[in-house]
Amino acid sequence: MDRLTNTVRPYAWGSTTAIPHLIGAEPTGEPQAEMWMGAHPGAPSRTGRGPLNEVIDQAPERELGPGAAAKFGPRLPFLLKLLAAGAPLSLQVHPDLAQAKEGYEAEERAGVPMDAPHRNYKDANHKPELICALTPFEGLCGFRAPEEAARFIEGLGVDSLKPYADLLRAHPEEAALCEVLTAVLSAGPEEMATTVTEAAAAAERLGGDYAPYAGLAHHYPGDPGVIAAMLLNHVRLNPGEALFLGAGVPHAYIDGLGVEIMANSDNVLRCGLTPKHVDVPELLRIVRFEATDPGILRPEASPDGEEVYATPIDEFRLSRYVLPEGAAAHDVTAETPQILLCTAGTVQAGELALTAGQSAFVPAGEKTEVSGAGTLFRATVVA
């Protein structure tokens, strides 16, 4: 087992206090957005044996187990994070596996540099993800039903929004959502900036369900993503609740601290709430234009005390143990690789004592028991 030393990414939207508060450190005054735990080459965790990606590269079957190595290749197929949003993240979607492969190969053939600001596909993998709230957590996830979206937009009383409400009612669901998102993202910048300003003022005046959108406009004045966000479900998670985000589902995180796990990919198509490139034609190819229930996940308890967040994919499996003082140790030995993350209290994982924010990599097959008084998240794969 390896204790991990992890990189914190200072993205501008990050909270300045949430991660320091969790780990018991003094805030630096700078945003601390994400702590990465895993073998992603962009910021691999460090171990006493070297960077985790290099440790795995040297002996993938030993570290990952034969089953995981055969199924996912010689690399850790997930990335675990602490995510601390102090401001809204970009409104975005992720491709499915076939779309990612097609998009990546097309950009490679076209010779688009990997670091080009207009590059959409950094790899050929999909990026399903799960966010589990550690604090009250706020986000946007999936389209509202067109009629509901039309009523919500009309409720602002902004004349320039009426054509969008009319479009939402004029077509079947898929066509209605596609036409309105296309219209919003294709509108002239000056015209849209005026609409967003008027909508934000109305949202601030009305408050209630509209208040989050006034907040979005405060962070991203004039951004068409503010209007696009009104097409989506607004979601609040209590600590311990989670959201699974599959391919093609538009979403954004607004505020809060959570544990995030995802397939090991950087592929993001942005819809707005960002100064970065928005490729509207490619975005429209990826988005699934269907109304969805956000589907808040609550963990399913097993007899041994493990609480599992069930998802339909195999690249990751997230669960947690809420360990009371004096409870018997739990055997978490597995034939797959694991990352263990403590988020509260102190947990003994094998020979390592983990406190809040500390984590460990457990190679496949290594005998491991956990005990103590605290909360431990367990990330692995389904091989």
Cite the active site residues. 270
Burial 234-263 (b: 16+ CB within 10 A, else e): bbebeebbbbbbbbbbbbbbbbbbbbbbbb
Cβ contact 344:257 at 8 Å? no
DSSP string, 208-257: GGGHHHHHHHHHSTT-THHHHHTTEEEEEE-TT-EEEE-TT--EEEEEEE
Tokens of 132: 């589990």
Tokens of 47: 């171990």
* Cα torsion angle, 283, 285, 291, 297, sign: negative
Cβ contact 22:377 at 8 Å? no
Q: What are φ and ψ of residue 62, in 5° steps?
A: -70, -45
Torsion of CA 328, 333, 337, 341, to 10 degrees: 10
Cβ contact 288:174 at 8 Å? no
